């Protein structure tokens, strides 16, 4: 709720304005900056998801850096410049009519394909540096940006295909997906795999090659993100269930194997203490007085530990112990 000024505060403010002690510009400068929010296109991607994507594509940057450095024989540095939510038509309208856009198919662990596609746009300055280096040049920035020839598109298509293969591996911490280059499109207006009003996440990577730099822009539809997180959650629950079942099965298998182990069961009538001299001088017919009464229970030990108590008796001319109490 906005703060309401009292009459005395209003009078003091008017007096300060009339005397010149406080200007309107200073009041405007002291006001809090308000960020506009468009209710016609509400935010659907949470801050946690943006943070997760940033971490995933920071790892992807390291892979791309290694790939471009080894392929082009140039010092390369790739960093995440921006991760933000947008609407696809806003992203598409900001593109030039003639672009280099890779359409990427996403395959989930259950071998199903995503309905939408991930887009990867390579800026012209970056693409012409790559072309120059692949054709034996020094990798200098090309001043005259023009349309691509068929040979150049073939070279760039192979390079994009290598970068796309690396993308799936960066998602393994969340879910193992496969990414494959479907085709390379040079007209952004012909892209039909994403609806114009769909929410997308735009990830801008800054690529520095030699003394030149360019952008690698990745556009991920929210439908793919939702499906990945949904399937990952399901797989985690199933994995936990399988883990619990596996633990129970292992426990049952261990108990089954232990059931056939041979243990020493001994009945102890009682105990007594004696000196070494008494033991050495014992003769046949001597009596050893135990610490238990004649009608007391007998301790039944299993491998040296007391498990039961029972009564001593005979059956078929053999000594037996009837169990009366279970200790364990």
pLDDT tens, 250-304? Answer: 888 888 888 888 888 888 888 888 889 888 888 898 888 888 887 888 888 888 8
pLDDT above 90: residue 192: no
> If phi over 0 gives left and psi between -120 and 50 gives alpha, with beta otherwise, what is residue 121?
beta
CA angle 25, 29, 35 (to 5 degrees): 130
Whether 60 contacts 169, CB under 8 Å: no
Using DSSP's 3-state secondary structure scheme, residue 74 falls into: coil
What pLDDT is recorded for position 9?
Answer: 72
pLDDT above 90: residue 242: no
Name beta bridge partners: 323: 310
- Asked which of 38-42, 133-137, 167-171, 251-255 is least confident by mean pLDDT, the reply is 38-42
Please tell me the distance from the alpha carbon of residue 214 to that of residue 225, in angstroms, as a whole number. Answer: 26
Phi, psi of 312 (to 5 degrees): -80, 140
Task: Indicate the angle between helix axes 124-134 and 150-169, nearest 10 degrees.
Answer: 100
pLDDT above 90: residue 44: no
What pLDDT is recorded for position 313?
Answer: 85
pLDDT above 90: residue 161: yes
pTM score, whole prediction: 0.62
Mean local confidence (pLDDT), 136-155? 83
pLDDT above 80: residue 114: yes
Q: How confident is the model at residue 40 (pLDDT cuts 50, 70, 90)?
A: low
What pLDDT is recorded for position 25?
Answer: 59
Higher pLDDT, 82 or 16: 82
pLDDT above 80: residue 314: yes
Neighbours of 283 (CB within 10 A): 5
What pLDDT is recorded for position 267?
Answer: 84
What pLDDT is recorded for position 272?
Answer: 86
Place of tokens 């797989």: 235
pLDDT above 90: residue 30: no
Helices (H), the chain: 7-19, 24-30, 47-72, 88-93, 124-134, 150-169, 222-259, 276-280
Token pair listed for 84 = 């933000």
Neighbours of 186 (CB within 10 A): 13
Token pair listed for 166 = 């690396």
b (16+ CB within 10 A) / e for 123-147: bbbbbbbbbbbbeeeebebeeeeee
pLDDT above 90: residue 204: yes
Mean local confidence (pLDDT), 209-233? 88
For the chain, the average pLDDT equals 84
52-93 pLDDT, tens digit each: 999 999 999 999 999 999 999 888 999 999 999 999 988 988
Neighbours of 160 (CB within 10 A): 22
What pLDDT is recorded for position 303?
Answer: 84
User: Hey, which bits of 67-108 come out as E strands?
Assistant: 76-87, 98-107
What pLDDT is recorded for position 2?
Answer: 46
What pLDDT is recorded for position 317?
Answer: 84
């Amino acid at each position: 709720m906005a703060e309401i000024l009292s009459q005395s505060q209003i009078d003091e403010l008017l007096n300060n304005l009339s005397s010149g002690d406080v200007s309107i510009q200073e009041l405007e400068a002291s006001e809090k900056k308000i960020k506009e929010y468009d209710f016609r296109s509400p935010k659907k991607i949470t801050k946690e998801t943006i943070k997760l994507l940033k971490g995933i594509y920071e790892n992807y940057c390291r892979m791309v850096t290694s790939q471009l450095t080894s392929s082009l024989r140039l010092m390369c540095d790739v960093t995440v410049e921006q991760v933000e939510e947008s609407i696809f038509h806003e992203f598409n309208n900001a593109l030039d009519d003639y672009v280099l856009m890779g359409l990427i198919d996403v395959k989930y662990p259950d071998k199903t394909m995503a309905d939408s596609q991930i887009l990867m746009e390579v800026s012209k300055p970056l693409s012409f540096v790559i072309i120059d280096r692949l054709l034996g040049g020094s990798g200098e920035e090309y001043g005259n940006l023009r349309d691509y020839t068929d040979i150049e598109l073939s070279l760039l298509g192979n390079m994009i295909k290598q970068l796309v293969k690396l993308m799936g591996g960066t998602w393994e911490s969340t879910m193992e997906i496969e990414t494959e280059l479907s085709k390379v499109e040079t007209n952004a207006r012909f892209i039909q795999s994403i609806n114009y009003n769909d929410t997308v996440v735009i990830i801008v990577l800054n690529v520095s090659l030699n003394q030149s730099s360019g952008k690698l822009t990745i556009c991920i539809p929210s439908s793919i993100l939702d499906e990945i997180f949904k399937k990952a959650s399901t797989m985690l629950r199933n994995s936990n269930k399988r883990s619990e079942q596996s633990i129970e099965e292992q426990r049952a298998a261990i108990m089954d194997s232990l059931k056939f182990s041979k243990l020493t069961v001994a009945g102890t009538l009682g105990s007594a203490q004696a000196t070494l001299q008494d033991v050495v001088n014992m003769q046949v017919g001597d009596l050893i007085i135990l610490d238990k009464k004649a009608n007391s229970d007998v301790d039944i030990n299993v491998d040296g530990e007391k498990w039961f108590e029972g009564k001593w008796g005979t059956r078929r001319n053999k000594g037996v112990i009837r169990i009366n109490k279970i200790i364990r």
